[in-house]
Amino acid sequence: MQNITKQNNSTSCFVCGQENPHSLKTKFYALDENTLVAEFTTLDEHQSYPGVLHGGIAAAILDETMGRTILNIDDSLWGVTIDLNLKYRKPLPTDEKIYAKAILESSNKRTFSCRGAIILPDGKPAVTATGKFMKLTLSQITSGGDFRSHWFLVKDKESVNIPDYVLNCPI
């Protein structure tokens, strides 16, 4: 059985904010030190065309998922986007639970690079991405402000069940 670790969520973030009514309320799970899975549910409010997720929402999910992979190695560091490249391959539906997966490919003292995908239930990627990120602490990102009051661990009440099509999808 795989050891899966849940990452923190915030109160206000658009992607993971648990108290933000407009948030995607994404949950993030570390599968190992290089791999992170995101679980989120799309809503009609997130559409561009009827029943189709807006491409900007897909970009935000992949940006956040790839940028968080560094937390699997060092939970004091965060990724701030330097470069983000996406390929939209298939439309993503609204009103469905969807998964993204990111893999840390390389890391040096100041930056790291990842690849990621949002995966459809048929196991095929709908959107793929690559990104390069700057490593920063929360203090550096918030200009020394206290971010801790907005950052907490949300414990899941149920066990995590990440589908095999997500675990097995090569990205």
Domain of 24: which CATH number?
3.10.129.10
Nearest Cα to 103, choosing from 4, 35, 39, 31?
Answer: 35
In a domain, 165, yes or no: no
In a domain, 80, yes or no: yes
Question: Domain residues for 46?
Answer: 5-147
Considering its fold, how many domains does the chain have in total?
1
Mean predicted confidence (pLDDT) in 155-167: 77
What is the C-alpha separation between 171 and 118, in angstroms, rounded?
9
Express each pLDDT in 34-90 by its tens digit: 999 999 999 888 899 999 999 999 999 999 999 999 999 998 888 999 999 999 999
- The reported pLDDT for the residue numbered 3 is 67
Distance, C-alpha 140 to centroid of its chain: 21
In a domain, 78, yes or no: yes
C-beta atoms surrounding 151 within 10 Å: 14
What is the C-alpha separation between 46 and 67, in angstroms, rounded?
21
